[in-house]
Amino acid sequence: MKEISDVISKEYGCKIIDRNLKNSHKKYQVYLAKNSYRKEIKSKIKFLLSHASNWNDFKNKANALGLIVDDKGKYTTYQLSGTSQERKIRDRSLKNQAFMKEAISERLKENEVLYTESEVKELWTENQTIQDKEQETEIELTVHDWQVEKETGDYLYVTIDIGLEREQRESAIKIPARCVDKLENGNYQIFLKKQDRFYFVDSKNPENNKIMLGKTVAKNLQNQSGSVPLYSNNAKIKLKQLFNEFDFLISKGLDFDTSFEAIGKELEQTYYQTESILEKLDKKILEYVEENKAYARPNTRILKTIENLQKERTDLHKTLKQVEKEMLYYDKSVDRYEDYQQEHTKNKSQHSPRL
């Protein structure tokens, strides 16, 4: 009966209501506040994987960062000191095999650079400062009642307008309940981040179903279109933290770790990928321009699409400039290290005893 009712409702343009959302953005924020310690534990373990030399060193440095590691029982447990965390967290409950004791011990054998506890604390604090400064804020949007296809316990299905006038498609984006607050007037407040992932559903052409990033969702909900930015905010945070550690190693007179050699390759790959996307975008703009010429009068929808694609092209050019800037900084950092290494070798030979 419900399926028949849904078909009739859809035929007459009525919104299909399955049941009320079981979760909400407000509830989810409360949940995160209560369970933030799990995320912090994972973050500290991941950081220490690159900054400890063996299991005992890992435990000592974890303690220096306020993370108590207890491996005396059957399971290894973690607990944040000085917090409201009451129950210890078992390693297996972190749901990452890389965080198991055996996997950690094996991973630590790969580390070439030795850090003191004070250096680890200093680096952790600096990395957190970068993280807090660059952390992406949520995009807040209002979705009207008429834009909603249906509401279920877990998702809000929001209809979007995809394609040109002669090829409209019935499409919707599944917004998880944790990203939605239902307002008293029947509308919805949507909260998302650029790098959040959402499921795009094309009911007429299921082969077009795909994952869509938050920035694209936001633009579609605002009757805009565009491609996904390649150079994400998380990537910029990661690179800034790596560069910070690179400078830290040089300032402390420590050896160059092979992990930093991958930065240059990552930047170069990002650069060429962005160039490739720009070429495809230019081609798409030209196709829409030619298509618009087929109409007796300018097609407003096509013109709007071209305008938005040109805006996206401008954004990607900014991305390219940002990557170029980071590549230049990387090259200068490498030059600094090579100068340091030559000077260090020279001083060492001058002070070594002669036979």
Which H, E and C letters describe 228-270, residue by residue? Answer: CCCCCHHHHHHHHHHHHHHHHHHHCCCCCCHHHHHHHHHHHHH
The pLDDT tens digits of the residues spanning 317-341 come to 877 787 788 788 778 777 776 776 6
Q: Going along 62-182, which residue ranges are E strands?
A: 67-70, 77-80, 89-90, 139-143, 148-151, 155-162, 169-176, 180-182
Q: What is the pLDDT of residues 39-73, one digit of tens each?
A: 899 999 999 998 999 999 999 999 999 999 999 98
pLDDT digits (tens, 9 = 90+) for 238-288: 656 666 776 676 666 655 555 556 667 777 777 787 788 788 878 888 888
Q: Give how far Cα 101 sits from Cα of 53, 54, 70, 75, Å.
A: 14, 11, 11, 9
List own/partner pairs for 123-130 with CB under 8 A and 24 or more apart: 123/51, 123/244, 123/245, 123/248, 124/44, 124/47, 124/65, 126/244, 126/248, 127/47, 127/241, 127/244, 127/245, 130/237, 130/240, 130/241, 130/244
Q: How far apart are CA 139 and CA 215, in angstroms?
A: 9
- For residue 230, what pLDDT is reported? 36
Instruction: Give the contacts of 151 (CB within 8 A, at least 6 positions apart).
Output: 15, 17, 18, 19, 20, 21, 157
For 279-308, the pLDDT digits (tens) are: 887 888 888 888 888 888 888 878 877 877
What backbone phi and psi angles, to 5 degrees, belong to 314?
Answer: -65, -40
Q: According to the model, what pLDDT value does residue 263 have?
A: 65
Residue 189 pairs in a beta bridge with 142, 181
| Radius of gyration of the CA atoms of the chain, in A | 26
Within 10 A of 226 (CB to CB), how many other CB atoms are there? 20
- Angle (CA) 332 334 339, round 5°: 95
Side chain identity, residue 63? N
pLDDT tens-digit map of 117-144: 999 999 899 888 877 766 666 788 888 8
Going from the C-alpha of 259 to that of each of 163, 245, 286, the distances in angstroms are: 44, 11, 42
Q: What span, in angstroms and rounded, lies between the C-alpha atoms of 146 and 234?
A: 34
* Cα 335 to Cα 22: distance, rounded to the nearest angstrom: 56
CA distance 44 to 69: 11
Chain-centroid distance, C-alpha 194:
8
Name the one residue in this structure whose structure tokens are 């991305």: 319
* Rounded to 5°, angle at Cα 214 from 46 and 324: 70
In single-letter form, the type of residue at position 226 comes to G
Q: What is the pTM for the complete model shown?
A: 0.50
Question: 273-290: b or e for each residue (b if 16 or more CB lie within 10 Å)?
Answer: ebeebbeebeebbeeeee
- DSSP letter, residue 284: H
Q: Cβ-count burial of 65 within 10 angstroms (0-12 exposed, 13-18 middle, 19+ buried)?
A: buried
228: pLDDT confidence band, cut at 50, 70 and 90? very low
What pLDDT is recorded for position 336? 72
CA atoms within 13 A on the CB side of 217: 32
Interatomic CA distance for residues 142 and 145, integer angstroms? 10
